[in-house]
Structure 1
Amino acid sequence: MKLTEDIKPVTCMKTRAAELLREVKRSRRPVVITQHGDAQAVVLDVATYEALRDASLLLQLTSQGEADVQAGRTTPQSEVFASARRRLKREK
Structure 2
Amino acid sequence: MNAKNAVMLSDEDLRYAEKLVEDGRFPSVSDVVKEGLARMRKRDASSDPLAGMADEIRRRMELPEDQRIPLEGDTMFDEVRAFIRERKATRKYGV
Structure with the greater relative contact order (CA < 8 A, sep ≥ 6): 1 or 2?
A: 1
With normalisation by structure 1, the TM-score equals: 0.37
- Higher strand fraction (1 or 2): 1
- Higher helix fraction (1 or 2): 2
